[in-house]
Structure 1
Amino acid sequence: MNAIALRGATIHYDDLGPSAGLPVLLVHGHPFNRTLWAPQSEALAEAGYRVVTPDLRGYGQSGVTRGKVFLSDFADDLAALLDHLGIEGAVVGGVSMGGQIAMEFQRLHPQRVRALVLSDTSAPAETEEGKAFRNRLADRLLAEGMDGYANEVIDKMLAAYNVAAMPEVAGRVLGMMRATDPHGAAAALRGRAERPDYRDTLAAVRKPVLVVVGADDVYTPVADAEAIRGLVPHATLAVVEKAGHLPGAEQPGHFNAALLDFLATRVAPRD
């Protein structure tokens, strides 16, 4: 684990694999941390890729910014981290909110994106109902903490049948959610509520794109992934069976196979 002070926050991150390997930047979702990507980091590093997995500000071990943190703030943090690491361009991937941060990174820093990996995410701007929900949830997390929320959503983060079938995975996911600082989670929720529409951004992408989704994701169902592929006709779509919103954790073997095949066949080392 490494740490760097940048843009007013201390960002903790892992940097694994050979330094000369194709860089892959993986961005966790809400309310998790960089260890969500552990199965992918190990597989990618073993395959010769350089894998960078940060804790977003407000999550994991990184510093907390209170109030409101926009997806653009996260994207600019990632650009600054790549600067620090001497990485000009990377494959940028994310799950859920992390996928939206990846899209924001593409919007703000397109020249630094070698390819996109979008897992269990959606492109449209938040609805008015969704904005109200996220702000109410932010208020609740500040008032009550993370435990109640974590217990309520575990059977949506994972496919409900996997909560009992995969107790170690469920325990790891619950642990990440419960350990998140409510102030960091609330700030991200308020900023995410005001995210832009990424459909035009995606429609303009000419780099390789992998879209992954759990077959039983209730938050961002297969239809959302198909909509992204519709915006990016050259995108590769992988539906992971027996998984919900976090297929990289629930079915890491299948997720990793799709990711490694995409990197090997669609992304040139110096693309």
Structure 2
Amino acid sequence: MSTELPIVMPLVVLCGLLAVIALALALGGPKRPPPLASINDPFKSVDTSDLPALRYFTARDDTPLAYRRYAGALARTRGSVTLIHGSSATGVSMHSLAKALAAAGYDVIVPDMRGHGASGDKGRIAYIGQLEDDLSDMLDELQPLAPRTLLGFSAGGGFALRFAGDARQLAFDRYVLLAPFLHQSAPSTRKAVGGWAHVGLPRTIALVMLNGLRIRAFNHSPTIAYALTPEATAKLTPQYAYSLMQNFRPHDDYRADIRAMRQPLEVLVGADDEVFLADTFAPVFADAGRVVPVTIVPGVGHIGLTLDPAALATIVGVVDGQRQEALTPTVSAS
């Protein structure tokens, strides 16, 4: 009996662990949060009657991915800006900002990131890292004018930071992050992301463990849901699979992304942001080893940063004036 115990016990522990993982995968998914009015309502008043038509570029897996292009309104184009929308959204949410930048003379490209809008299956991508590959493919095909700026909002700002710390960061001359999501544990993130998102923690933990063992067969499972209204749910992406949730953000070690940046970068955030804590961004970047200019826009909330006329003018001014090295310590209220 004593000789059998050393053999049986590991098998019992393994079977128990597998049962817990299976239960977490089956029942540990996200729950839809109550609709968050501060995120959903502002877009209802946006006029999209002049929205450019969708175009498509072909990604390396032969999938057609959607984007819109706004031609610069000046005779001499001042460069290009690629806008990355926020979580659950599409490029339509960037319409007001895209028009403001185009009016200032920039060639503006606004993709529907894969897993959103007209790009691929909603809420899903094939592998973690595919979004970076898609962005590289888009640049290769469309050849945006230089100097190139990558500007991302919220989760899109987190993805822009991910790309800014990537080996391909020189594809853009500068980066602008609007109220960027850095990490769920970052000091800049409010609890439950201000009520905007719910993560299925048991399923997420199980998938992290499986991915650590290079088991990725379950990465299509939903792990995060967003606080959309029923009307918005029909148009947008109400939840993400694990692979998309992990890709549309910085790497888990977001501080490493910050330290790896070599291109100029600026951050803007509304003083009244309901999702993030505006006054924490400067110290978060500094603590990670990179001092960046942070502009706090007064009287503006999270979504208002991309819609409010004063906020739009501030963003255009940052893009216009960003010729300095981003190592200059600057924290300002516009």
The number of residues matched between the two structures is 238
**CA offsets, 1:150-186, max 9 Å, x none?**
14xxxxxxxxxxxxxxxxxxxxxx8555412446567
Per the alignment, residue 39 of structure 1 pairs with 96
Question: Is the Cα contact below 8 Å between 1:215 and 1:243 reproduced in 2?
Answer: yes
Separation in structure 1 between the aligned mates of residue 81 and residue 250 of structure 2, nearest angstrom:
27
- TM-aligned CA distance change 1:35 to 1:48, over 3 Å: same
Question: Is the Cα contact below 8 Å between 1:72 and 1:104 reproduced in 2?
Answer: no
Per the alignment, residue 302 of structure 2 pairs with 245
- Pair 1:112-2:171 in alignment: yes
Q: Secondary structure at the match of 1:105?
A: helix
Shift of 1:53: 0.5
Which of residues 2, 8, 11 in structure 1 aligns to 2:65? Answer: 11
Separation in structure 1 between the aligned mates of residue 133 and residue 70 of structure 2, nearest angstrom:
21
- Spell out the pairing of 1:54-73 with structure 2 (5 A cutoff): 54-64=111-121, 72-73=129-130
Per the alignment, residue 155 of structure 2 pairs with 97
- Pair 1:29-2:94 in alignment: no
**Mean CA deviation greater in 208-217 or 84-93:** 84-93
Question: Is the Cα contact below 8 Å between 1:122 and 1:228 reproduced in 2?
Answer: no
Shift of 1:37: 1.0
**CA offsets, 1:40-95, max 9 Å, x none?**
11111111111111001111121116655666321221111011102376211111
Separation in structure 2 between the aligned mates of residue 50 and residue 138 of structure 1, nearest angstrom:
42
**Mean CA deviation greater in 105-114 or 203-212:** 203-212
Shift of 1:226: 2.1
- Pair 1:2-2:55 in alignment: yes
CA root-mean-square deviation: 3.6
- Spell out the pairing of 1:42-191 with structure 2 (5 A cutoff): 42-64=99-121, 72-87=129-144, 90-108=148-166, 109-124=168-183, 133-135=198-200, 149-151=227-229, 176-182=232-238, 188-189=244-245, 191=247
Shift of 1:247: 3.0
Q: Supply the AA of the counterpart residue of 1:43.
A: A
Q: Supply the AA of the counterpart residue of 1:12.
A: A
Separation in structure 2 between the aligned mates of residue 137 and residue 255 of structure 1, nearest angstrom:
39
% same residue? 22
**Mean CA deviation greater in 117-126 or 27-36:** 117-126
Q: Secondary structure at the match of 1:217?
A: coil
Question: Is the Cα contact below 8 Å between 1:57 and 1:184 reproduced in 2?
Answer: no
Per the alignment, residue 263 of structure 1 pairs with 319
- Pair 1:220-2:281 in alignment: no
Q: Secondary structure at the match of 2:134?
A: helix
- TM-aligned CA distance change 1:88 to 1:199, over 3 Å: farther
Q: Secondary structure at the match of 1:94?
A: strand
Separation in structure 1 between the aligned mates of residue 90 and residue 256 of structure 2, nearest angstrom:
29
Separation in structure 1 between the aligned mates of residue 270 and residue 232 of structure 2, nearest angstrom:
20
- TM-aligned CA distance change 1:11 to 1:126, over 3 Å: farther
Q: Supply the AA of the counterpart residue of 1:63.
A: G
Separation in structure 1 between the aligned mates of residue 145 and residue 200 of structure 2, nearest angstrom:
36
Separation in structure 2 between the aligned mates of residue 49 and residue 200 of structure 1, nearest angstrom:
31
Which structure is larger by alpha-carbon Rg, 1 or 2?
2
Per the alignment, residue 164 of structure 1 pairs with none
Q: Secondary structure at the match of 2:156?
A: helix
Structure 1: gaps of 5 or more residues: 152-173
Provide TM-score, normalisation by structure 2. 0.60
Per the alignment, residue 154 of structure 1 pairs with none
Structure 2: gaps of 5 or more residues: 1-53, 205-220, 325-334
